[in-house]
Amino acid sequence: MDLAELLSRRALDVAPQLLGVVFAHRSPEGVVAVRITEVEAYSGDGSDPAAHTHRGPTPRNKVMFGPPGTLYVYFSYGMHWCANVVCSPHGSGEAVLLRAGEVVDGVEVARRRRPAARRDVDLARGPARLTQALGITGADSGRNLLDPRSTMYLSPRAPVLEKSQVRTGPRVGISKAVDLPWRFWLDVEPTVSGLRKPRV
């Protein structure tokens, strides 16, 4: 499926189909590419109190109301950056958090950025580690990830996955709407970060 078409849909539809998509960043240090293995959906329709957009636009979350395919980056717990892909029609306030991935290109660069990682499967295993491996910071919020000419972009097509390859369960690290099964991950994937409590 064409990624631009996919991202125009609701976050819950988009999230599982972002699994396997490659996120790449060309920087002066070199190219790092990560195959996404775990994500979380955040809805902007008012039903999701854990979404940053639940109470409407603010200076912090305004990027999340932008066009689909925009990168939304926020600082979490005053410690690290988290990267999200904005989806749904412009103004909807929906996004998919990128929780984990497998470094498929630029492993040496990722290792230099993540010197604490003992194994390569840990380089992008978790939202903070993923942004570190890719070299993403708050300055990147608002980038268009659908522009192949950009230094930061998503692969143009989503892979076709069998239903049996995808698992879903509660989101991790939030205090509201904790039981919603809106976290999705690839089954039998060592780079997945969250607790594996599948619903399907």
pLDDT digits 0-9 by tens, 81-127: 999 999 999 989 999 999 999 999 999 999 999 999 999 999 999 99
pLDDT digits 0-9 by tens, 52-76: 888 888 888 899 999 999 999 999 8
Q: What is the DSSP string of 43-74?
A: --SSS-TTSTTTT---TTTGGGGS-TTBEEEE
Contacts of 22 (CB under 8 A, 6+ apart): 33, 34, 35, 36, 104, 154, 155
Do residues 43 and 11 touch, judged by C-beta distance below 8 A?
A: yes
Q: Which domains does the chain have, with CATH numbers?
A: 3-186 (3.10.300.10)
Q: How wide is the angle at C-alpha 181 spanned by C-alphas 10 and 132, nearest 5°?
A: 75
Q: Structure tokens of 186?
A: 């690839």
**pLDDT of res. 172:** 87
Bridge-based pairing state of the strands 71-76 and 183-186: unpaired
Specify the DSSP element, H or E, that contains 163: none
pLDDT digits 0-9 by tens, 158-179: 888 888 899 999 988 887 888 8
**pLDDT of res. 195:** 61
> Sorting pLDDT into bands at 50, 70 and 90, what band is 138?
very high
- DSSP structural state of residue 112: H
Q: Return the percentage of the chain with pLDDT > 70, whole number.
A: 96
